[in-house]
């Protein structure tokens, strides 16, 4: 006997748009988008304060990005930190004295005589085993010597640690914003491109971290990918917020044939 085969067909339905959402959904989506946008602005501020001045000059630049990942091969990690993120934690005269000591070879004798009192006063509150922080130990010469060598940038271990956290965390944020943005009424090609763009930017940005560790020229890729992520998220959030509250359904008009 021949077995009869049945084919299931999906009914043609119009996709949901923001004007189909209830007030509760609109409030939920708007709150999430606003918080996500605020969090991104805070992240930008954190990045600026973290990278500002790493190259010894005020302001955020490509050189700051390159020095963070590739390192300043003409200097030391400690010098880069003192000129960059740690500059506000030590007086100018003391910083100059420490840099002079580093450039002279960072001898242990001069450390005990000149440098140890400065670090005991300014640094060991955080830079000690007792603080529990994941920072170099400045309570002894061997601990300081680890960061008094040539600066080769952030370690591969640290990059892997930070990158997997960012891939999980930022990926979930991109998913959340994208799930809201899917209700937008836009040309299909534009909506598909804008939905995919943040994920491409995240992958490019984090990949560029490792590439910059190998060659500082890829610092430009870090900046471009970061800008791409910010632009795509800004467009998704602004378009979604606008359409959530201002988009209205335009009912189709047509004549009815009574036969």
- How confident is the model at residue 96, as a pLDDT? 86
Would 40 be classed as within a structural domain?
yes
Q: Identify the band that residue 254 occupies on the pLDDT scale cut at 50, 70 and 90.
A: very low
Cα separation, 34 vs 38, in Å, equals: 6
Higher pLDDT, 219 or 107: 219
Q: Which of 115, 145, 175 is the last residue of a domain?
A: 145
Chosen domain end from 98, 114, 145: 145
- The residues near 139 (Cβ < 8 Å, ≥ 6 apart) are 119, 124, 127, 128, 129
pLDDT at 173 over 60: yes
Is residue 30 assigned to a domain? yes
Classify residue 3: in a domain, yes or no. no
Q: Do the domain assignments include residue 168?
A: yes
Name which of 220, 221, 223, 205 is nearest 159 in CA terms. 205
> Do 188 and 220 have their domain in common?
yes
47 and 166 in a common domain: yes
Q: State how many domains the chain has.
A: 2
Query: Mean pLDDT, to the nearest integer, of 82-86?
Result: 75
Confidence of residue 55 (pLDDT cuts 50, 70, 90): low
Section 59-79 average pLDDT: 79
Does residue 177 contact residue 39 with C-beta atoms inside 8 Å?
A: no
CA distance to 58, 63, 83, 210, 248, per residue, from 68 (Å): 15, 8, 12, 11, 49
User: According to the model, what pLDDT value does residue 256 have?
Assistant: 41
171 in Cβ contact with 202 (< 8 Å): yes
* Residue 256: inside a domain: no
84 and 34 inside one domain = no
Give the C-alpha separation, 164 to 71, whole Å: 21
DSSP bridge pairs for 150: 76
Q: Do residues 130 and 198 both lie within one domain?
A: no
Instruction: Identify whether 165 is part of a domain.
Output: yes
Does residue 253 sit within a domain?
A: no
Q: Which of 127, 145, 163 is the last residue of a domain?
A: 145
Q: Are residues 225 and 108 in the same domain?
A: no
Beta carbons within 10 angstroms of residue 118's beta carbon = 19
- Express each pLDDT in 108-153 by its tens digit: 888 888 888 888 888 878 888 777 777 788 888 888 887 777 677 7
Burial class (CB in 10 A: 0-12, 13-18, 19+), 211: middle
Examine the domain organization and report whether 141 and 159 are in the same domain: no
Tens of pLDDT along 177-230?
999 999 999 999 999 999 999 999 999 999 999 999 999 999 999 999 999 999
Q: Is residue 205 part of a domain?
A: yes
Domain shared by 78 and 194, yes or no: no
The angle subtended at Cα 236 by Cα 232 and Cα 237, nearest 5°, is 115
* 73 or 213, which is more confident: 213
Are 233 and 179 members of one domain? yes
In terms of residue numbers, what domain contains 120? 72-145
Asked if 232 and 115 sit in the same domain, the reply is no
Shared domain check, 195 and 132: no
For residues 160 and 182, state if they share a domain.
yes
Are 133 and 76 in the same domain?
yes
Output the pLDDT for position 11: 60
In this prediction, residue 104 has a pLDDT band, given cuts at 50, 70 and 90, of confident
């Amino acid at each position: 006997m021949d077995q009869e085969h049945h084919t299931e067909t999906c009914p043609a339905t119009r996709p949901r748009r923001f004007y189909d959402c209830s007030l509760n959904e609109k409030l939920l989506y708007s709150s999430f988008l606003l918080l996500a946008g605020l969090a991104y602005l805070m992240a930008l501020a954190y990045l600026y304060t973290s990278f500002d001045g790493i190259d010894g000059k005020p302001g955020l630049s490509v050189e700051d990005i390159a020095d963070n990942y590739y390192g300043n091969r003409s200097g030391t990690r400690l010098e880069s930190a003192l000129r960059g993120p740690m500059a506000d934690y030590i007086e100018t005269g003391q910083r100059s004295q420490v840099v002079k000591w580093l450039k002279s070879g960072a001898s242990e004798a001069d450390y005990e005589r000149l440098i140890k009192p400065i670090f005991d006063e300014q640094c060991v509150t955080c830079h000690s085993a007792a603080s529990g922080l994941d920072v170099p130990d400045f309570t002894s010469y061997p601990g300081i010597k680890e960061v008094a060598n040539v600066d080769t940038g952030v370690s591969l271990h640290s990059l892997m640690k930070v990158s997997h956290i960012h891939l999980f965390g930022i990926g979930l944020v991109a998913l959340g914003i994208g799930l809201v943005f899917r209700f937008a009424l836009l040309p299909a090609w534009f909506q598909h491109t804008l939905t995919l763009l943040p994920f491409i930017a995240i992958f490019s940005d984090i990949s560029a971290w490792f590439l910059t560790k190998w060659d500082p020229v890829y610092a430009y890729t870090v900046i471009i990918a970061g800008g791409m992520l910010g632009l795509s998220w800004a467009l998704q959030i602004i378009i979604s917020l606008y359409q959530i509250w201002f988009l209205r359904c335009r009912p189709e008009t047509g004549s009815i044939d009574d036969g």
